[in-house]
Amino acid sequence: MTTTRSPRRDATENRDALLAAARIELNLDAEASLETIAARAGLSRRSVYGHFATRDELLRELVTIGATRIAGAMAGVDHPRPTVRLALIASRLWREVADIKVMAVFAVRGPLKAHTAAALQPLRDRVAAAIAAGVATGELRSDIPADRLTRLVENAALSALAEASRERMDDREAHRLVMLLVLGTVGLGAADSAAIIDGHPELEWTAR
Amino acid sequence: MTTTRSPRRDATENRDALLAAARIELNLDAEASLETIAARAGLSRRSVYGHFATRDELLRELVTIGATRIAGAMAGVDHPRPTVRLALIASRLWREVADIKVMAVFAVRGPLKAHTAAALQPLRDRVAAAIAAGVATGELRSDIPADRLTRLVENAALSALAEASRERMDDREAHRLVMLLVLGTVGLGAADSAAIIDGHPELEWTAR
DNA sequence: ACTATCTTGCACACTGCTGTGCAAGATAGT
DNA sequence: ACTATCTTGCACAGCAGTGTGCAAGATAGT
């Protein structure tokens, strides 16, 4: 017979539990072992292999899910001024990533970076577009090639995340920091950045 | 008898060769094995242990040497304007680190970071001092606490290094990029940063 | 109550590395 | 030429993990 039943309910629950556990555990230690992750999910290491062929497969799925969430959060981000758009992207990003900081940094910089890059492509495209537009209008610096600037902006955001996890920063403050660093990187002075952030209510932090 | 001869000449040569090899090899792959390093030095893995008790000891010594070199390169860096001073520090830093980029990033971010931090303390103090001075005169942003800003500046510099090793960048361009990112981080706009760099001949790149 | 589906524990193979003991051989320095 | 010092190769122990086979037991779904 070829007809396979649909998976048992507890099985899918456990699968989700594993992903959730991985999310938490990898955020504490980016290199957490399967043992650790399974334990947090209330399962044995052995049974992880009932859901994921390899450790790598688990991680990739986790990254994919995260990237999709982020991409989703960017929907509807739009504003005529490229600088504001960038700040808005930074703002939304922070919201999605605040409780995943460590893992996020690892996903982008660690061995999964290739996969992460692919999954985050849409986000990067958005940033690149905003930058290109800003350079065209003269709002943004033109002394650094746009594609390079895109990567540097990304790094700036990561830097803010790293700082936020290093010290346990206030959400509101961290949210502002991400925007400030991004704007600083694309060429705005501190005062201009502050003016933009404070002049646009949609860039304000609102508790979740 | 307790009198020990001084080490044989070839031994000290080999020791140096190991350090040099490590420098090169770790710059290609920050996690290069002792096997690889020894091979590059023309030695066997086994004999590494004749010079260093553990892999870690080798790495630490390497970091210490590098940090000392960098500290040395900062001697005489001084300028009344904190912004220029920061740019100058960035400039000198690049010079010292240009051919060690990968390893430098790893040393600061990887498992050796504690040791690296200690070894680089003088450099950090310099940066912190310049920032404090700049905040006091109003030349630099005051919307981010000085100690945080110090770390962010460091990250900005690392970001430039990372970008420079990612693409194989022109020395002159990379040198400028490090300064631009540092200045951008402390709150200057792109135009102001450029003005500072171009207005001070000591910030120009000179081929080595 | 029956059974396909899941979970578990244990044993094991494997990987890629570090670190050590030892005996044999090479070599610098005198 | 003598000898302390270095280097080497090999074998071995250890570590921390991943991935697998298998048999026994638990459980969801019907």
Segment A56-82, tens digit of pLDDT = 999 999 999 999 999 999 999 999 999
Residue A108's pLDDT is 97
The answer as to whether B2 is a domain residue is yes
Strand D: list positions under 7 Å from protein Cβ.
4-11, 16-22, 27-29
Distance set, CA B58 to CA A130, A153, B31, B63, B102 (Å): 46, 35, 13, 9, 17
Contact (Cβ atoms closer than 8 angstroms) between residue A140 and residue A82: yes
Chain A residues whose CB is inside 8 A of the B192 CB are 189
Arithmetic mean of pLDDT over chain B: 96
B208 is a domain residue: no
| Domain CATH number, residue A30 | 1.10.10
The CA distances from residue A185 to A153, B11, B157, B180, in Å, are 6, 49, 12, 9
Q: Are residues B25 and B117 in the same domain?
A: no
Judge if B77 and B46 occupy the same domain. Answer: no
Q: Which helix (H) or strand (E) holds A208?
A: none
pLDDT (tens digit, 9 = 90+) per residue, B34-49?
A: 999 999 999 999 999 9
Same domain, A12 and A107: no
Q: From the candidates A181, A192, A197, A198, which should be mutated to test the interface with B, based on the most B CB atoms within 10 A?
A: A181
CB contact under 8 A, B185 and A187: no
Nearest to B159 by CA among B132, B140, B187, B185: B185
Q: Name the minimum distance, in Å, from the CA of B173 to any CA of chain A.
A: 10
pLDDT digits (tens, 9 = 90+) for A121-159: 999 999 999 999 999 999 999 999 999 999 999 999 999
Closest Cβ–Cβ partner in B152, B159, B180 for A163: B152
Contact A90, A155 (CB under 8 A): no
Closest to B187 (Cβ–Cβ): which among A160, A167, A189?
A: A189
Q: How many CA atoms lie within 13 A of A123 on its CB side?
A: 26
Q: Please judge whether A184 and B180 are an interchain contact, meaning their C-beta atoms are less than 8 angstroms apart.
A: no
Give the total residue count for chain B.
208
**Integer Cα distance of A86 and A78 in angstroms:** 9
SS3 labels along A36-64? HHHHHCCCCHHHHCCCCCCHHHHHHHHHH
Closest-lying nucleotide for A9 based on CA to C1' = D28
CA A169 to C1' D16 (Å) is: 34
For the four alpha carbons of A126, A128, A133 and A137, in that order, the dihedral sign comes to: positive
3-state DSSP of A162-192: HHHHHCCCCHHHHHHHHHHHHHHHCCCCHHH
Chain B residue closest to A155 (CA)? B159
* Residue B78 falls inside a structural domain: yes
Q: Are residues A170 and A132 in the same domain?
A: yes
Partner-chain contact B163 A148, CB within 8 Å: yes
Rg (CA), chain A: 19
Strand D contact at CB of residue B5, distance < 7 A: yes
Residues in chain A whose beta carbon is closer than 8 A to a beta carbon of chain B? 140-141, 143-144, 148, 151-152, 155-156, 159-160, 162-163, 166-167, 177, 180-181, 184-185, 187-192, 194
Contact assessment for residue A200 and residue A193, using Cβ atoms and an 8 Å cutoff: no
In a domain, A208, yes or no: no
Considering the domain architecture, whether residues A143 and A198 belong to the same structural domain is answered as yes
Residues A181/B151, Cβ–Cβ less than 8 Å: no
Do residue B26 and residue B80 come from a single domain? no
Domain containing A86: what range?
A: 60-203
pLDDT tens across B129-178, in order? 999 999 999 999 999 999 999 999 999 999 999 999 999 999 999 999 99
* Cβ of A13 near strand D (distance < 7 A): no
Mark out the alpha helices in chain A (DSSP H runs): 9-28, 34-40, 45-48, 55-73, 82-97, 101-109, 113-119, 121-137, 146-166, 171-185, 190-198
Is A140 found in the same domain as A71? Answer: yes
pLDDT one-digit tens code per residue, B82-92: 999 999 999 99
Q: How many structural domains are present in chain B? A: 2
Question: For residue A162, which residues of chain B lie inside 8 Å, CB to CB?
Answer: 155
